[in-house]
Structure 1
């Protein structure tokens, strides 16, 4: 075990992750304070990539933001950078919600379609807030085509957010994987 981690996962969650060998979906499921999470949603439907959100998602938002800075997010300008961080935060929240719903037997084809009216009756959270977030996501994501790949987060938002949340393992070739590890030196 000659590897140390500088992780986007918070230290407590990282320790749990290392013990289990992977991120346990069940432990994440039980730990999510949904009402607190939805209280962080902005009036326009998105979430901000704040330390408070990071705590709920078990992500170190400072490390993630620094990674994005290194990959050139500032080239989008101040407003573009802020919107991109909101976009990432909102994708992360909806991915967590999607994973929870899949565990409960509610399956969606896409993160962009969590507001599908045919299943709204089966969603235990505030459907209107989910709908608002999904609409914001569709409007905003279209303004930044291929940004997920350009910032080297992953091939698409679905994959990137699953990997950041620990739902899927990060490939060793991912720039995020290299970020998460450091040599003991």
Structure 2
């Protein structure tokens, strides 16, 4: 949805996730951005990838947190035009801590859930290396999902990471426009 330069998004996420209940209001900011994005661009996504059958989130990572931050973001705003499956996947084990490592076996489907032949969209808070969403997508594909689409609220750009410098420079050259997405731009 947005690019994050100089750790702006990460700073807000860190406060929201780790600084205690008095910072939970920040979830409404992320939820508002997400609902605005999907209102404007779900049609773009579905024209490109087909009608989304299941809207889900990857399991929350921080065992030290006493709340699911993505559920908090989703529940912080109304009205969603979609319904969210906040427990489609369950953790089999903690994902490897090495940044960028995809662990195709760390998630599994929760009991009673089915994705066979369906298109699944995963929403996560931030894309740093992509390994969380790639690991979640691997679980859905392993259980027969036809297509998996990943959307994040923010894409963390570090100039020293891969193509981060080029993307950051391009992002700085253009003005931010909530009505413009990478699919329909």
| More strand as a share of residues | 2
| More helix as a share of residues | 1
Ranked by relative contact order (alpha carbons within 8 Å, sequence separation 6 or more), the top structure is: 1
**TM-score normalized by structure 2?**
0.32
**TM-score normalized by structure 1?**
0.32
